[in-house]
Amino acid sequence: MKAVVVHGPGDVRVDTLADPVPGAGEVLVAMEWGGICGSDVAYWRHGASGTAVLKDPLVLGHEVAGRVAGLGPGVTTVDIGTAVTVHPAQPVGDAALPERIAGRTNLLPRVRYFGSAAFHPHTDGGFSELRVVRAGQLRPLPDGVSTRQGALAEPLAVAMHAVHRAGDVTGRTVLVNGAGPIGCLVVAAAKFAGAATVIAADLAPSALGIARRLGADHTVDLGSGAALPEDVELVFEASGAPAALGGALRATARGGTLVQVGNLPGEPAPSVLGDLVTREISWTGSYRFVDEITDAVRALGEGLDVSPIITHTFDLDDAGEALAVAADRGSGSSKVLLKLGGSRRS
């Protein structure tokens, strides 16, 4: 089978690997679509994503969908041909969470994730024609939801988790700072959850156009010199830029909430944080998701259309070009998809 493998900084190849065979409790999935994430770009550009550093070649990809092509011994919960997406997280060991965070499995100390070099040996991802998956990680797609849409379930789950971290957003005004793929999906998730007004802010007009298509009621073009609105009760910081934190905190109303969903660097970076104290802002983090991928699949089945986020598609053989486009905000890209296999009408 073919697979998209990163060997080091700037070195991504489409390698031919042995076809995998499902073992007990496992399922063979014929992958059809995969979405490129910032971590995929980071491994390609730098040979690392955050503190996870490549030591061996790694198959990229954790935003994937396809169809069940084979069943390992003992699997009776899914049928051959079923369209599925994948929860890419697998807890390692049997560590118990403290009572205060019971059930928040995304906070377990050891979790293997598709396409991650956090552990050695690394955990290969799903940018391949075939992938063996534990049956419990599959999420069947509802009728009417294509595998192309299903590849968006994982990033939508990240956005839905961020909205859940904010509490009940029904009837509230929301600001999303940063209209990259996750920011735009936060816009869609907030509207789906009942937010009355959603404002999206970004430096790029093309990103703001996508945010509007995903439900933003108002947009702020920071690149033109416009300023963030003031006194917004609920703010999502989705850019991950330390320099943006001061403005996001200032935009948050006194006693309001700022949800940090954009990844911040794991090294010292200057930020203006005084308003966190003087305005008594609740600043909360949001990391991956628990089981919101199930909610995301359900929402797609109920008609939530997040396909406007898809700006480019490439064949698996053109993975290098796809990564370059995804990395270049000047390209106007938002979510870049790889066609991994299957019917063109998937």
Domain of 27, CATH number, reads: 3.90.180.10
pLDDT at 344 over 70: no
Number of structural domains, the chain?
2
Note the pLDDT tens digit of each residue in 281-340.
999 999 999 999 999 999 999 999 999 999 999 999 999 999 999 999 889 999 999 999
Judged by phi (left if over 0) then psi (alpha if -120 to 50, else beta), residue 99 lies in alpha
pLDDT of residue 12: 98
CB-CB contact of 289 with 107 (8 Å): no
- Beta strand segments in 170-296, E: 173-177, 197-202, 218-221, 232-237, 252-260, 282-285
Longest dimension (CA), the chain: 60
Q: Is 233 helix (H, G, I), strand (E, B) or coil?
A: strand
| 298 part of a folded domain | no
Residue 297 domain-assigned (yes or no): no
Q: Would residue 21 count as lying in a domain?
A: yes
pLDDT tens figures, 156-173:
999 999 999 999 999 999
* Mean pLDDT (whole number) for 81-99: 94
C-alpha 289/C-alpha 171 separation (Å) is 24
Structure tokens at 214: 């995903």
Q: Are residues 58 and 127 in the same domain?
A: yes
Per-residue pLDDT averaged across 77-98, rounded? Answer: 94
175 lies in the same domain as 148: no
pLDDT of residue 265: 85
Res. 254: pLDDT tops 90: yes
Tokens representing residue 322 in the block: 């796809």
72 within domain boundaries: yes
Average pLDDT, the chain: 96
pLDDT at 329: 81
Which pLDDT value is given to residue 269?
87
Tokens encoding 338: 């790889």
252-256 average pLDDT score: 98
The verdict on 172 and 142 lying in the same domain is no
In a domain, 258, yes or no: yes
Binned at pLDDT 50, 70 and 90, residue 346 comes out as very low
Same domain membership, residue 126 and residue 196 = no
C-alpha span between 56 and 43 (Å, rounded): 12
Residue 123 has pLDDT above 60, yes or no: yes
CA atoms within 13 A on the CB side of 101: 12
Place of tokens 């956090």: 118
Question: Quick check: helix, strand or coil at residue 113?
Answer: strand
Q: For residue 63, name the pLDDT band (cuts at 50, 70, 90).
A: very high
Question: Do both 192 and 74 map to the same domain?
Answer: no
191 inside domain: yes
The residue range of the domain holding 254 is 156-285
Instruction: Give yes or no: residues 130 and 229 share one domain.
Output: no
Give the percent of the chain with pLDDT over 70: 99
CA pair distance 184, 207, nearest whole angstrom: 8
The enclosing domain of 236 has a CATH number of 3.40.50.720
Domain membership of residue 322 (yes or no) is: yes
User: Which element (helix H / strand E) includes 11?
Assistant: strand 11-16
pLDDT interval class at 345 (50, 70, 90): very low
343: confidence class by pLDDT, cuts 50, 70, 90: very low
| 99 vs 164: CA distance, rounded Å | 19
96, two tokens: 């118990």
**3: CB partners within 8 A, 6+ apart:** 14, 15, 16, 17, 59, 124, 127, 128, 129
CA 40 to chain centre: 11
pTM score above 0.85: yes
88 in any annotated domain: yes
